[in-house]
Structure 1
Amino acid sequence: MATSRIAQKELGLFFASPVAWLFLGGFASVCLFVVFWAESFFARNIADVRPLFQWMPLLLIFLCSALTMRMWSEERRSGTLEHVLVQPCPLWRFVLGKFMACLLLLLLALVTTLPLPITVALIADLDWGPVWAGYLASLLLGGTYLSIGLFVSSRTDNSIVSLLGSVALCGLLYMVGSSLFTEFFDSRSADQLRQLGSGSRFDSITRGVIDFRDLFYYLTLVIAFLGLNVYTLEKEGWARFASTPRQRHWRIFIFLLLSNLVLANLWVERINSLRWDVTEGRIYSLSNASRQLVGQLQEPLLIRGYFSARNHPLLAPLEPQLKDLVLEYAEAAGGNVRVEFVDPLEQPEIEREAKDRYGIEPTPFQVADRYQSSLVNAYFTVLVQYGSEHQVLPFNDMIEVRNAANGQVEVQLRNPEFDITRAIRDVLYNYRAGGDLFAGIEQPVELIAYTSDDALLPDALLAYRDSIEAQLQLAVDASDGKFSFRFLRPEAGDGALARMIEDEWGFSPMTYALDAEQEFYFYLTLADANQVVQLPTTNFDPGQFRKALDSGLRRFASNFTRSVALSAPQVNPQLEQYNMGGAGFATLEKAITRDYSVLRENLEDGEISPEADILAVVAPGRLSTTAIYAIDQFLMRGGTVILATSPYTVEPDQGGLALRDRDTGELPAWLEHHGIRIGKGLIMDKRHGRFPAPVKRDSGAYQFRDVRIVDYPYFLDIRAQGLARHPLVGNLPQLTMAWASPLEVERNDGRRVSQLLWSSPNAWLSEDRAVTPQDGQAWEEPATTQRYLLAASINGRFRSFFQSPPMALQNTDGANRSGVNTLVKRSPEAARIIVFSSNDFLSDRVLGAQVRASGTQYLGPIELFNNTLDWALQDEQLLEIRSRGHFNRTLPPMAQNVRVALELVNYAAAFAWLLALGFANWLLSRRRRARYMRELGL
C-alpha cells in the first residue's frame, strides 16, 4: 500500500508540473518524426513498425535520464531527503514507488505510439507479434534505464549532473553491444559484448522472439540498480568511518546480490530452449515439416557452420540467430543431428577440407578497424552432410538485402529454415536413393499392361512386348517385393475391360499405319493405392522403355528429384540492351533448379520427354498443331500442365514500352475446347504497384525520356482478398501480377475448378495500346469497376482436342515413330490444368523492375510458381515455410495525399491521447480538491 501511495504522489507531482507533458509530448513527437521522416516510412514500403523500435534504445537513454534526473537529486537539494530517511517505512518502498511512477509514465508514453501499428494493420497485413514484442522490449529497456537514472540521481544533488551521468552510464551500456563498437572485435568477442549490451538484447526481442535469457538480463539489471539505489540512500544515515554490524550486513548483502545476479546470468545463458516465437507463422522456430523431416534420420546428420572470427559488420549480428536455429534442429532430432561451428581461418586442415571437398571458399568483405578500412576474407557458410551426400549454403543464398529510401541498407536472414530444411531433405533423399529406385517407394506399385492378343498386335509390337516383359521381370527381381506387373486383355470376355479403360482413361483402340482397319490395345499404366500414371508409348522403342518405366516409378518415390519440362522463351538480347533487369526467364529457371530437374522442352517435336513429371509452358509463342498435340497428350496421360499466357506482351521500344499482340497459334482454341478463355485487353487496377518505367518528358521544343518509379495500374497489387484459401497461394502475403488479361473458366463435365487469384473490385479492362507512362500522367478510371479472375486450377477428366494425330506425326520415319496411332482421347481424374493469365509476370524484366521499385529482391511470382509445382507434384512438405521473409509484407499503393493524411492522423491521435490524459488529470485533481474540502468542512 505504501509503495502505491508513493507512486501516486510522484505521478501527481509529474502531472502538476510541465515535466510529464514535456516528456509525453517530446516522446511522441520524436518517435513519429523518426518513423515518418528519418526512416521514410512510406518510401520504405514495408508493412511493419521496425523503424519505431530501431531508434528506441537511443531515444530512451535521453528521455529516461531526463525523467529521473530530479527524482532524488531534488530531494537531496531541497532537504526533504532527511525526512524520507527517518520515516518508519522501509527505504525500498520509496525507491520502488518512484520507479513505478516513472515506469507508468513511460507506459503512457508508449501508448501514444499505438496509432502507428493500428494504422499499418488497417491498410496492410501487419504481423502483430513483433509489435507487442517491441513494446515489451521498450518497457524492459526503459525500466532498465529508469533504474540507472534513479541510482545516479540518488548520488548527487545537481539535476544536470544526474542527467549527464545517467546518459553516460546508459549510453555505455548500449554502446558495449552496438555494431559501432563490436565491429572492431572478432566474432567470438563481439558475440560476448552483444550479450552485455542493452541494445542488442532489445533487437533480439523486437524481431519477435522473446527469449528468457533476454528477459532475465533486463530484470537483473533493474534489480541490481534499484538495490544500489536503496544501498546509496541507506548509507546517508551512516556515521563516517564507522563499521557497525548493520553496515557490514548491508555491504555483504549488496555484494552477494550483485554477485548472484552476475552468476545467474552466466548460468541462464546456457539455456537456449526457453524462447517464445510470437511472430505470425513462427518464422523463427522450426515448423512441423522440419521436425518431421529430421525425425526420419536413421544416421547422424552433420550441420556445420563456417563462421570467421572477423566478419562483415552487417553479417555478424545474424550469426547468433543462425546458430540458435541450427541448434533447434539438433534438439528436434533427438541426437541424430550433430552441430559444429568452426572458423576455417584458425584451422588450416578444416579450411583445406572445405575448399577441396566441399568447394567452400571465403568471401572478400570490406571492413573497418580503428585505423583503416581493408578487405577481409571471411566465411559465412552452412554445410549439411548426410553420409556421402552434402549440400552447401553460401551466405548470399541465406540473406535478404534491402536498400532503403534513406540510403541505409537492411540485411536479414532471408528464410534460413527453408534453406536448411530443403538441404536436409535433398541429402537425405539422395543418400537413401543411392541408385536404388525402389528405396523411396513405400506402397507396392503395379504395372498393368492393357495389350491385345498376339493375333491382333503388329509384329513390331510383339517384339516390343517381349522385350519389355523381360525388363519388367528384372525390375521385379530388384524391387524387394515393391513392384509387380501383369498383362490384361481388354477384348477378353464381353469387352467389359475395354469399355472400362475407355470410360476411365480414354484408352481407345489403336490402329497401325500399314493396316488401318486392324484395331488393338497397347497401354501401360503404373498404379498404387492412391494414383494411376500412364507410361508414354509413342515410339515403342525397347531401348527407351526402361527410362520411361523409371520416370514413372519416380512419381511414386519420395527420395528422387522430380523433373519439370519447361517451355519458355530463351534470353532476348534486345531486353539486355535496355538494362531492365535482364531478359527471358533465367530467374525462374534458376529457382526451379533448386528443387527440381529442369528439362528444356521443345514442343514442336510432338511429344514431352518421358522423364517429365510436370509440364510448364511460360509465355508461349506461336504453337503449331504438333506442339498443341504434345501438350494435349501429356494432359491426357494424367499429367499437370501449367500455363502462363496472355494475348499480349510488353517489350521495350525506342525508350518506351510497346504493347504487342502475342500470337500463340492453336493454344486459344485448345483452351477454349477445355472451357478456358483468356479475354482481350489488359486489366488495370486502382490497387496497383510501382514500376521504374520510361517516362516521356516535354521541355520546350524538346522531348526527353527518363526512368522514374511511378504508380502503374498495369501492375496489379494482389492482397489477402485476392488470394484464395488454397495451399497454392494461401501462404503468400502479397503478389504483383504484371500485364494480365481476364480469365474465364467454365464448370463442365464434372471438373473441379479452383479460382486462385483475383484483382481487387476496383479494376477495369483497357484496350489502350499506350502503356508507357507520361510525365505527370493521371490514368483515366472508368465509373464502373469489377473484380477479374487471374489464375485458376482445373482438375478432372478432359477430352482430347484431337480425333487423330496431326499429319506431321503420321507416316514418319520408323526410327522415331512406330506408325501406331497412340492417341489418348480422355484423361484420368488426376489430369490438371493451371492457368495464369499473364505472359510477363514471371519474367526477369518484371522481377528486376520490382527490385528497383521496392529496393529488395522480389520473388513473389517465383514463390507462387514453386508453390504450384510443389502442390501439383504432391510435394507439399516445404510449402508452408517457402514464403517466409522479412520484406515480403509491403504497404498497398497509396496516393500522396493519402500518405500525408495518414501521417497527420498519427500526430493527431498522439495529441488527442495527451488531451485525454490532461482531461483525466483535471477530473482527478478536481475530485481530490472536493474531497479535501469536504474533510475540512468547507
Structure 2
Amino acid sequence: MPRTSPSPAAPPLASGRLLYSLAGLAAALVLAVSVNLLAARLLPHARLDLTQQHLYTLSDGTRQVLSGLRDPITLRLFYSRQLGGAAPVFGAYADRVREMLQEYASASDGRLRLEFLDPEPFSETEDRALSYGIQGVPIDQTGEQVYFGIAGTNLIDDERVLPFLQPERERFLEYDLTRLIHELSNPRRPVVGLLSALPLNGDPRALMMRVPGAGQPFVIANQLRQFFSLREIAPETQRIDPDVEVLIVAQPQNLPEAMLYAIDQFVMRGGKLFAMTDPHSESQASRPGPNGQPVRDTASGLDRLLNAWGIETPRDKVVLDQRGAWRVRANPQDRVQAVDYLAWFNTTGDSLTRSDVATADLQQVTFASAGEVRHRPDAPIEFTPLITSSDRAMLVDVARVRESPDPARLLAEFRPDGQHHVLLARARGMLRSAFLDGPPALPEGVAREEGLPAHLDKSEGPANLVVANDSDLLEDRFWVQVQDFLGQQTATPFSDNGALVANLTDTLAGGDALIGLRSRGESLRPFGVVEEIRRDAEARYRQTEQDLTRKLEATERRLRELRQGTGAAGGQAQAVITPEQRAEIDQARAEIVATRGQLRGVQLELRRDIERLETTLRVLNIALVPILLTLFAIGLALARGRRRSAARG
C-alpha cells in the first residue's frame, strides 16, 4: 500500500492569540497606571461631581470668599487617629474633611494655609488644642481624650473654632468652613436692627422659672449673630440709628405711631426692611404672656406702612396647602393615629423661585398658619414673589386654626382653589411716605427726641423690602432640631428657614458671598409621587369618613331618643315602646351596623391602596434592575448569534 506523506504542522494560533491577549492586558494596565500618575501630578484637584446637588463641588459663594482673601488665614485640623480606629465613621469623615480643606487651599491661591495635627495624650499639641477651645471627648472608660476640631486664625490673632466635628453635620461642612473663614476675613459686620414682640434674644422670665428648654434665644438669632451685629430696637424708639443697615421687624404688635414713623423714615432714607407679619403666631400662642397664660391676640401687622407702599398682608385668612402638609397626632378619639395638618406645610419645588439668589439653592421652607402677601395692582412698585404655596391650596378664616384647630375636619372640608398664594415676596421701587403730613403727635407726657432728621415724604431712591406674612419662620420647632452633645448645644436644621432668613438679610445688607452655600447638602427629599398618592387617598378617605361619621352620630342619637321614648307627643317619656318604635329601633341598629361596616371598608381600602403601592415599589426596586440586565444580556447574546450566523453564511 502506498504510504501517505504527513501533512504540515498547523501554526500555533491558540498560543499566539494567548500571547497577544496577555500583551494587550499588560499594555492596558500600564496605560491605566500612567494615566492615573499623570492625572495625580498634572490635575491634582480635578474632580467629576455627578451628584444631583453637586455636593462635592465648592459653591460660588465659597470661591468668592476665598478669592477675596487679602491676608493669609491658617486653619489647623486637630484629629486624633485613635478616634478613627475606635469609630470608623469618624475616620471616614476625617478623610472627607481633609479633602475639603485641601480643595479650599487650592482655590485660595495660597492665601489659606493648612496644618494637620494629631494631639496625642499629654503632648504639646494636645495643650495647644485645648488652648484654642477644641473639645476633647473620652474614647473609653480610662478617660483618655480624643479630638476632632478646627481652629482658624488670621494675622491679627483673631480666632474662630469648630470645637468638634460630627458626621451628622457632614452636609453642612462647607457652610461651617466658609463661615469660619468669612468671619476671620471680615472683622466688620453689618448692623442689623431687631424689632419683635417675640423673645428672639431669649426670655429672662422663663429662665428665672427654670423651665427646661425655655427662655433660650431663638436659633435664628444666634445664627444671624454669627454674620451680623444685632441691635435690639425698643418699641418706644423715635428713630432708627443711621448705622443700622437692615431692620428686621417680626410679629409687630401695637407699635406706637412714633415707632411706625421711625420705620417709615428709615425706609425713606434708604434703609432695608425685612417685615414678618402674621395672621396667627404659633410661636406666640405656645408661650406664656405677662400673666403666665398664652396671649389671645396672636395677629400682627404693619398695615399703615405696607398699604401705603402698595402691599397687603391680610390678618383674617390663613393659607392651607396639601402638598407638604405636616403629619400631626390626630384626635385621641380618631381612628387614624396621624393626619395631615394643612396649616403647617413645607414649600418645595416650584414654590421656591430659582431666579432669586436668596432662594435659588433652598430645598424646602416651612410655614405655620401663614397668610398671603398681596400686591395692590395700582401700586408703582416691582413685586417679586419668592415663595408661594402649591396649586393645591386654599384660604380659610384664621379662626379655624387659632383655637382648638381640628386637622381632620380641615382636611375633610379642604377644597383647593388652584391658585399659588404668595407667602413671601420682595418689593422694590420709589415709595411715598405713609406720613405725608409729617411726624405724628406724641402721647401726652412724651417728649420728642432732639436732633431728629428732617421729614421725607418720599424715598430718596428705590426702596428695598422683603415682606412675609408669617413670623413662625423664626420658630425653632418648625425648622431645626436642637440637641445637647456633651454639654454643647448642637442645632441640626431639617428645613431651610434659617438659611432663608440669613440669605435675605445678607442680600438686603448688600453681600451675597455666603448665599450659595448655606443650604448645601441634602435636605429632606420625600418621594413626591408616593406622597401625592397618599395625600389624595387620605383626603378622599377623610371626606367619606366625615359624611359617614355624621350619619352614624345622627342614627345613634335617634336610637337613644327611641329607647328613652322621647319621640312621644309633648316630649314625655313612654312607659311602653310601640311595635312601630320597635321596628324603627331595629332599623336604626341595622343602619349603625351598616355604617360602621362602611367606615371599616373605607379604612381598609385606604390601607390597601397604600400597601399595594408600597408592594409595587418594593418589587420594582428589587426586581427591575436584575430584569433589565437579564434582558440586555439576552438581547446582546441574540445579536452576537445573528452576527455569527451572517458571517458564516
- The 2-side partners of 1:274 and 1:661 are apart by 58
Residue of structure 2 aligned with 1:286, choices 43, 54, 58: 58
Counterpart secondary structure, 1:340: strand
Pairwise mapping of residues 785-824 of structure 1 onto structure 2 (< 5 A)? Answer: 785-802=418-435, 803-808=437-442, 813=447, 816-818=449-451, 822-824=454-456
- The 1-side partners of 2:648 and 2:179 are apart by 78
Q: Normalising by structure 1, report the TM-score.
A: 0.50
Equivalent in the alignment of 1:417: 174
- The 2-side partners of 1:778 and 1:864 are apart by 29
Runs of 5+ consecutive residues of structure 1 not aligned to the other structure: 1-84, 97-222, 228-252, 368-372, 402-411, 431-559, 701-705
1:598 corresponds to 2:227: no
Instruction: Tell whether the 8 Å contact from 1:581 to 1:845 is kept in structure 2 after alignment.
Output: no
Q: Give per-residue Cα distances to partners, 1:571-603, cap 9 Å, x unaligned.
A: 467899999975786111011001001111112
Instruction: Tell whether the 8 Å contact from 1:606 to 1:809 is kept in structure 2 after alignment.
Output: no
Equivalent in the alignment of 2:78: 306
Query: Percent of counterpart pairs with the same letter?
Result: 23
Bigger CA drift: 627-636 or 894-903?
894-903
- The 1-side partners of 2:225 and 2:118 are apart by 30
Counterpart secondary structure, 1:310: helix
Q: Aligned pair in 2 of structure 1 residues 88, 731: CA closer, same or farther (>3 Å)? A: same
Equivalent in the alignment of 1:732: 362
1:878 corresponds to 2:511: no
Counterpart secondary structure, 1:736: strand
Instruction: Tell whether the 8 Å contact from 1:603 to 1:630 is kept in structure 2 after alignment.
Output: no
- The structural deviation recorded for 1:354 is 3.7
Instruction: Tell whether the 8 Å contact from 1:285 to 1:325 is kept in structure 2 after alignment.
Output: no
Pairwise mapping of residues 810-889 of structure 1 onto structure 2 (< 5 A)? Answer: 813=447, 816-818=449-451, 822-848=454-480, 857-889=493-525
Pairwise mapping of residues 11-22 of structure 1 onto structure 2 (< 5 A)? Answer: none
Counterpart secondary structure, 1:291: helix
1:90 corresponds to 2:13: no
1:355 corresponds to 2:130: yes
Q: Report the residue type matching 2:17 in the other structure.
A: P
- The structural deviation recorded for 1:677 is 1.6
Instruction: Tell whether the 8 Å contact from 2:361 to 2:516 is kept in structure 1 after alignment.
Output: yes
Instruction: Tell whether the 8 Å contact from 1:686 to 1:713 is kept in structure 2 after alignment.
Output: yes
Pairwise mapping of residues 232-311 of structure 1 onto structure 2 (< 5 A)? Answer: 272-280=44-52, 282-311=54-83
- The 2-side partners of 1:387 and 1:785 are apart by 58
- The structural deviation recorded for 1:913 is 6.8
Pairwise mapping of residues 66-465 of structure 1 onto structure 2 (< 5 A)? Answer: 87-88=14-15, 90-91=17-18, 272-280=44-52, 282-311=54-83, 312-345=87-120, 348-356=123-131, 358-364=132-138, 366=139, 376-395=144-163, 399=166, 401=168, 412-430=169-187
- The 2-side partners of 1:864 and 1:606 are apart by 30
Instruction: Tell whether the 8 Å contact from 2:321 to 2:394 is kept in structure 1 after alignment.
Output: yes
- The structural deviation recorded for 1:835 is 0.8
- The structural deviation recorded for 1:919 is 7.0
Q: Normalising by structure 2, report the TM-score.
A: 0.70
Q: Aligned pair in 2 of structure 1 residues 779, 756: CA closer, same or farther (>3 Å)? A: same
- The structural deviation recorded for 1:335 is 2.9
Q: Report the residue type matching 1:304 in the other structure.
A: R
Instruction: Tell whether the 8 Å contact from 2:191 to 2:245 is kept in structure 1 after alignment.
Output: yes
- The 2-side partners of 1:773 and 1:309 are apart by 54
- The 1-side partners of 2:481 and 2:121 are apart by 43
Q: Aligned pair in 2 of structure 1 residues 813, 562: CA closer, same or farther (>3 Å)? A: same
Counterpart secondary structure, 1:324: helix
Q: Aligned pair in 2 of structure 1 residues 922, 772: CA closer, same or farther (>3 Å)? A: same
Q: Aligned pair in 2 of structure 1 residues 286, 658: CA closer, same or farther (>3 Å)? A: same
- The 2-side partners of 1:647 and 1:926 are apart by 68
- The 1-side partners of 2:635 and 2:430 are apart by 74
Pairwise mapping of residues 319-718 of structure 1 onto structure 2 (< 5 A)? Answer: 319-345=94-120, 348-356=123-131, 358-364=132-138, 366=139, 376-395=144-163, 399=166, 401=168, 412-430=169-187, 560-568=188-196, 569-570=198-199, 571=202, 586-650=218-282, 651-652=285-286, 661-664=297-300, 667-679=302-314, 680-693=316-329, 695-698=330-333, 710-718=339-347
Q: Give per-residue Cα distances to partners, 1:711-746, cap 9 Å, x unaligned.
A: 321122212211122112112122222211122112
Instruction: Tell whether the 8 Å contact from 2:195 to 2:234 is kept in structure 1 after alignment.
Output: yes
Q: Aligned pair in 2 of structure 1 residues 772, 576: CA closer, same or farther (>3 Å)? A: farther
Instruction: Tell whether the 8 Å contact from 1:294 to 1:332 is kept in structure 2 after alignment.
Output: yes
- The 1-side partners of 2:281 and 2:470 are apart by 8
Q: Aligned pair in 2 of structure 1 residues 647, 925: CA closer, same or farther (>3 Å)? A: closer
Q: Report the residue type matching 2:79 in the other structure.
A: F
- The 2-side partners of 1:95 and 1:576 are apart by 81
- The 2-side partners of 1:386 and 1:850 are apart by 31
Instruction: Tell whether the 8 Å contact from 1:796 to 1:828 is kept in structure 2 after alignment.
Output: no
Counterpart secondary structure, 1:416: helix
- The 2-side partners of 1:796 and 1:601 are apart by 26
Q: Give per-residue Cα distances to partners, 1:660-682, cap 9 Å, x unaligned.
A: 543437x2233222222223222
- The 2-side partners of 1:673 and 1:338 are apart by 53
Q: Aligned pair in 2 of structure 1 residues 811, 779: CA closer, same or farther (>3 Å)? A: same
Equivalent in the alignment of 1:471: none
Counterpart secondary structure, 1:327: helix
Equivalent in the alignment of 2:558: none
- The 2-side partners of 1:720 and 1:603 are apart by 38
Q: Report the residue type matching 1:350 in the other structure.
A: T
Counterpart secondary structure, 1:732: coil
Q: Aligned pair in 2 of structure 1 residues 891, 772: CA closer, same or farther (>3 Å)? A: farther
Q: Give per-residue Cα distances to partners, 1:790-825, cap 9 Å, x unaligned.
A: 1111112222222232322799557x435x683322
- The 1-side partners of 2:208 and 2:404 are apart by 20
- The 2-side partners of 1:337 and 1:641 are apart by 36
Bigger CA drift: 887-896 or 309-318?
887-896
- The structural deviation recorded for 1:322 is 1.3
Q: Aligned pair in 2 of structure 1 residues 758, 298: CA closer, same or farther (>3 Å)? A: closer
- The 2-side partners of 1:279 and 1:809 are apart by 61
Q: Number of residue pairs matched?
A: 535
Q: Give per-residue Cα distances to partners, 1:113-143, cap 9 Å, x unaligned.
A: xxxxxxxxxxxxxxxxxxxxxxxxxxxxxxx
